[in-house]
Chains A and B, each alone.
Chain A
Amino acid sequence: MTAASHLAAMAADISALRFCPMYVPADEVAGITRLESHTTRARAVQMWRIAAGHARWTARDAAILYETTLDSLSEAFDVWHAPIRRMMLAARADIWASGLAPPCVVRAVGVLEAEAVPVIAPCETVFIGGEAAQCAEAGAYLEGMAELLDGATCLATQTGAAACALGAVDAARRQAEGLRDAIVRANPRTLIADGPETLWALTKLWPELGAPLPTGIRVVPLMLHLARTREPSTAIAGPVFVHDARAAYLLSETKPEALIVMPGYARQPGAQEKACGTGSVFDVPRAAVAAGGIDMVWGQWTRGLARSCGADDGLHLTHPHLGAGLARERLAYAAGLGARTLASDSPMAADWLLRHRTEVDPAVLWLPRLYQEAGP
């Protein structure tokens, strides 16, 4: 395969990124492997060469594209916010379509596709555990949820987000259409998304895949629903560092400002945090922590600039050792900020971080637990 359709369409955008070294702080996997080919710049060089017809994909090129994340962090870090994530996604789509996807990717997509589309009985509210479905024990994130959500139908199911991230766009579309049709048949008024990736999938990805929800169905993030209906527990060990899932960047209202990553400034507690991006996807989880009067700490890699927990973009499914490395980095980062608890509204992030936490790391909390622990 040379200049395949998805990537070739983005050649002009990639061109400008080919040799820019400025993205190094956002090269998360390269930060672990210290390997130059994992950097945004090196990936852009190779993607551009292929898009321009100057090179062909090799197995190693394909592997590199999957060993890294989709790079929304590089996109966020870029003062001009070039669509780096879309470039990577286009490259993965081309690789998948050409049959060059590494075996670990083929296996992961196979597992995702094997999951049956759920049958949903008619109801008022459906809790969609799209992120929970990617956790090792999805059931743990459904436990008690029906009670917490006043009898909502609760299910852990693939939304297509993971398949899409791996480049299997057709598989993602099939999953989105299947779930969308099941939801339409159940005719609920409200869908509650378990985390930012699910919210993004239902509201942004599905329309792109040609499977939009009917306009009469409201989609609400779980944290927002809980904040409106219940009081959170205050039994949480502060200070707390709130980890934002990678998908939160895709839902942010404003993008991060370059000012936040300047050398030569002491970190002022909380003073500049909103420069890392704004929107309810960031504010609601923090408000839940603040409601209990619990101290929070922040660092530069937060909100839209949040570094990966390791369970983004399929990395935890295809390269768990790299995902584990990112998880350990993230936990160490929170610890370095003085956090006693790392809290996230993303079940996928919380689950993955918890799996890689050691006893010296901060505690890990999935934020809806605050409301479960508080009781009715």
Chain B
Amino acid sequence: MKTIARQMFLNELGAIVGANHVHTSEADRLAYAVDAYWSARLWIDRGRVPELPDAAVAPGSVDEVAAIVRLANVHRVPLIPFGGGSNSQGCIIPVHGGVTVDLKRLNRIREINERSGYVVAEAGINGFALETALNDRGWTLPHYPASVHAATLGGYLACRGSGTVSTKYGKAEDLVMSIEVVLPNGDVMRTLPVPNHAAGPGILQVFVGAEGVFGIITEATMRIERLPEVRRFRSFLFPDLAAGLEAGRRIMLDRLQPCVMRLYDERATIRTVKHVLDAPVERGAYMVIGFDGFADIVDVQERRALAICADLGAEDLGAAAGQHWWDHRYDFYFPPKAPDLPWMFGTLDTVTTFDRMEALYADKKRQLEERFRDHGLYYYAHFSHWFHWGVMVYDRFFIEKPPTDADEALALHDAVWTLAVRINLAHGGVINEHHGVGLKLARFVREQFGNGFQVLDGIKDRIDPHHILNPGKMGFGAPR
């Protein structure tokens, strides 16, 4: 956009939200240009300037969001929704410029309905602020991602996030009942009031996980739960990963409903559990299992889980070790324990069925470490979101001395990802389980869906013909 036209556009934005909510300085725009995506961080680390938005705007109501979208359509300006900025996939990177729409002023709780167990809140509310308000009433939104202190409700849903207790309570997409969304033409739409029905296809789930390419989520109704009477945790040390995976499978198929079940492979047991928690473990596969709810029910669940673990040769490390893990579970994500530049690292998480997981894990570990041996790549994993049919592997690669040159480093990074994602797909997995697609994985979306992508393509072309919303993501290209 040329100078005069740009300024006129900014003036119009200011007329919608107030001039003090339109930010154009480089310092402000830089703050909106980087999330937790490694490649964007690399760019900064090597002294480069990433793609900046032309401006950032902070609407205070759904009507203001709608007006911004309508204005952007007139001027064909890309819009990038922004929540807490904690995404690891580059969802918020303004690859085609445009205006970042910071939703954090939409932070009101509309209703806490204790009779039916749901909360209605605006999408920009901080996850921890929402949780605290619920906790004060004896309720919880059982979604405790590592990013809970930073992420927003809208971000949870836009990326289909997962939390520490999702094995029992479900992921963000399971907890959502309905949403309000601003469509790419500026219309404000509400999905059906209930999530389960036979009233036609579920439009709700078209927008959940779409990372803003189909619309901007402005409000959500979420299922909530009463705070549990008890929470109990216990740690185990299995002789090897296979035994731990089998224990987890049996616990899930027996419907014992653990809220937490986190199994570390042998290397992660040493590298992370021992390192961060200072746990006295030298071998084997560490597992933490937690149950919550009424004490008498937890008694039964815990007893049966203990029996399964014992049957598979696990050493019971006790409740104190399990509680210690729970109390320090976020420590892994603060500096200096969290991995950081100049290292290259990435979380390759995927999900598949129990019968395929061991092969997927073993093949990925072997191929990555062989192919990138010259770069010193190493790999480890934990398994932390379990379903009754399968499990998610949260696996990471690390290269401690990547190339100094940013272009070379990025090429190596993307080569690692290409191999890892293709292995995920070849073994019946998906390109991601709970971090989202973003810029990082956008190039694999068409490959993943195959001819199914035409469904998404058709929706996009119909409702956002100019590709204004979050262009460059989810397999869609530049604005038109």
* Residues of A near any B CB (own CB < 8 A): 15-25, 34-37, 39, 41-42, 45-46, 49, 52-54, 58, 60-61, 64, 78-80, 82, 258-259, 261-267, 300
For the complex, is B289 an interface residue (Cβ under 8 Å from A)? Answer: no
Distance in Å from the Cβ of B203 to the closest Cβ of chain A? 30
Chain A: CB-nearest residue to B332 = A79
Report whether B138 and A39 are in contact in the complex, using a CB–CB cutoff of 8 Å.
no
Report which of B85, B124, B148 forms a contact with A41, defined as CB distance below 8 A.
B85
Chain B: CB-nearest residue to A36 = B31
A60-B26, A267-B136 as given contacts; A52 in contact with B340, CB under 8 Å: no
For the complex, is B142 an interface residue (Cβ under 8 Å from A)? Answer: yes
Report which of B26, B128, B131, B331 forms a contact with A79, defined as CB distance below 8 A.
B331
In the docked arrangement, what's the CA distance between A262 and B268, Å?
Answer: 24
Distance in Å from the Cβ of B109 to the closest Cβ of chain A? 13
For the complex, is B193 an interface residue (Cβ under 8 Å from A)? Answer: no
* Most chain B beta carbons < 10 A, residue from A24, A41, A60, A64: A24
A15-B340, A19-B36, A21-B86 as given contacts; A263 in contact with B28, CB under 8 Å: no
Binary flags per residue of B227-244, CB closer than 8 Å to A gives 1, else 0: 100000000000000000
Report which of A15, A17, A80, A266 forms a contact with B135, defined as CB distance below 8 A.
A266
Report whether B337 and A80 are in contact in the complex, using a CB–CB cutoff of 8 Å.
yes
In the docked arrangement, what's the CA distance between A58 and B337, Å?
Answer: 32
Report whether A78 and B334 are in contact in the complex, using a CB–CB cutoff of 8 Å.
yes
In the docked arrangement, what's the CA distance between A23 and B142, Å?
Answer: 21
Chain A: CB-nearest residue to B338 = A20
* Chain B contacts for A265, CB-based, 8 A: 135, 227
For the complex, is B452 an interface residue (Cβ under 8 Å from A)? Answer: no
In the docked arrangement, what's the CA distance between A17 and B45, Å?
Answer: 12
In the docked arrangement, what's the CA distance between A80 and B138, Å?
Answer: 30
A79-B334, A258-B328 as given contacts; A39 in contact with B26, CB under 8 Å: no
* Most chain A beta carbons < 10 A, residue from B102, B147, B151, B335: B335
Report whether B84 and A24 are in contact in the complex, using a CB–CB cutoff of 8 Å.
yes
Distance in Å from the Cβ of A40 to the closest Cβ of chain B? 10
Known: A41-B85, A46-B30. 7 other contacts (CB 8 A): A16-B340, A18-B44, A21-B35, A21-B85, A21-B147, A61-B27, A265-B135
Report which of A23, A24, A64 forms a contact with B27, defined as CB distance below 8 A.
A64
Report whether B131 and A266 are in contact in the complex, using a CB–CB cutoff of 8 Å.
no
Tally the A-B contacts, defined by beta carbons under 8 Å.
142
Shortest 7 CB-CB contacts between residues of A and residues of B = A16-B335, A21-B150, A42-B31, A21-B86, A54-B47, A37-B31, A36-B31
* Chain B contacts for A17, CB-based, 8 A: 335
Main SS of the interface on chain B?
loop
In the docked arrangement, what's the CA distance between A138 and B104, Å?
Answer: 38
A264-B142, A264-B144, A266-B138 as given contacts; A80 in contact with B336, CB under 8 Å: yes
In the docked arrangement, what's the CA distance between A214 and B328, Å?
Answer: 44
* Chain A contacts for B149, CB-based, 8 A: 21-25, 261
In the docked arrangement, what's the CA distance between A265 and B326, Å?
Answer: 13
In the docked arrangement, what's the CA distance between A262 and B82, Å?
Answer: 24
* Chain A contacts for B340, CB-based, 8 A: 15-16, 18-19
In the docked arrangement, what's the CA distance between A263 and B127, Å?
Answer: 9
Chain B: CB-nearest residue to A81 = B334
For chain B, the bracket of interface size reads 35 or more
A19-B41, A41-B85, A64-B27 as given contacts; A263 in contact with B334, CB under 8 Å: no
Distance in Å from the Cβ of B114 to the closest Cβ of chain A? 14
Pick 26 A–B contacts, CB within 8 A, sort by A.
A20-B335, A20-B338, A21-B35, A21-B36, A22-B150, A24-B84, A24-B149, A25-B128, A34-B58, A34-B124, A35-B102, A36-B28, A36-B56, A36-B82, A37-B28, A42-B31, A46-B30, A49-B47, A58-B25, A258-B330, A263-B132, A264-B135, A264-B140, A265-B227, A266-B135, A267-B136
* Chain A contacts for B156, CB-based, 8 A: none
* Chain B contacts for A23, CB-based, 8 A: 149-150
* Chain A contacts for B126, CB-based, 8 A: 24-25
* Most chain B beta carbons < 10 A, residue from A45, A80, A259: A45
* Residues of B near any A CB (own CB < 8 A): 23, 25-28, 30-32, 34-36, 41, 44-45, 47, 56, 58, 82, 84-86, 102, 104-105, 107, 124, 126-129, 131-132, 135-136, 138, 140, 142, 144, 147-151, 165, 227, 327-328, 330-331, 333-338, 340-341
* Chain B contacts for A262, CB-based, 8 A: 327, 330
* Chain A contacts for B138, CB-based, 8 A: 266
In the docked arrangement, what's the CA distance between A310 and B12, Å?
Answer: 33
Chain A: CB-nearest residue to B130 = A263
* Chain A contacts for B150, CB-based, 8 A: 21-24
In the docked arrangement, what's the CA distance between A264 and B233, Å?
Answer: 15
Chain A: CB-nearest residue to B28 = A37
Report whether B135 and A263 are in contact in the complex, using a CB–CB cutoff of 8 Å.
yes
* Chain B contacts for A39, CB-based, 8 A: 31, 85
Report which of B23, B86, B140, B335 forms a contact with A37, defined as CB distance below 8 A.
B23
A52-B47, A264-B144 as given contacts; A21 in contact with B84, CB under 8 Å: yes
Report whether B140 and A49 are in contact in the complex, using a CB–CB cutoff of 8 Å.
no
Distance in Å from the Cβ of B94 to the closest Cβ of chain A? 13
* Chain B contacts for A16, CB-based, 8 A: 335-336, 340
Distance in Å from the Cβ of B88 to the closest Cβ of chain A? 10
* Chain A contacts for B56, CB-based, 8 A: 36
In the docked arrangement, what's the CA distance between A1 and B44, Å?
Answer: 19
Distance in Å from the Cβ of B179 to the closest Cβ of chain A? 21
Chain A: CB-nearest residue to B146 = A22
Report whether A264 and B131 are in contact in the complex, using a CB–CB cutoff of 8 Å.
yes
* Chain B contacts for A19, CB-based, 8 A: 34-36, 41, 44, 340
Chain B: CB-nearest residue to A41 = B85
A36-B56, A258-B328, A263-B148 as given contacts; A22 in contact with B30, CB under 8 Å: no
Chain A: CB-nearest residue to B227 = A266
Report whether A42 and B25 are in contact in the complex, using a CB–CB cutoff of 8 Å.
no
A18-B41, A80-B337, A263-B148 as given contacts; A37 in contact with B47, CB under 8 Å: no
In the docked arrangement, what's the CA distance between A262 and B27, Å?
Answer: 32
Distance in Å from the Cβ of B68 to the closest Cβ of chain A? 15
* Chain B contacts for A61, CB-based, 8 A: 27
* Chain A contacts for B341, CB-based, 8 A: 15, 18
In the docked arrangement, what's the CA distance between A64 and B28, Å?
Answer: 9
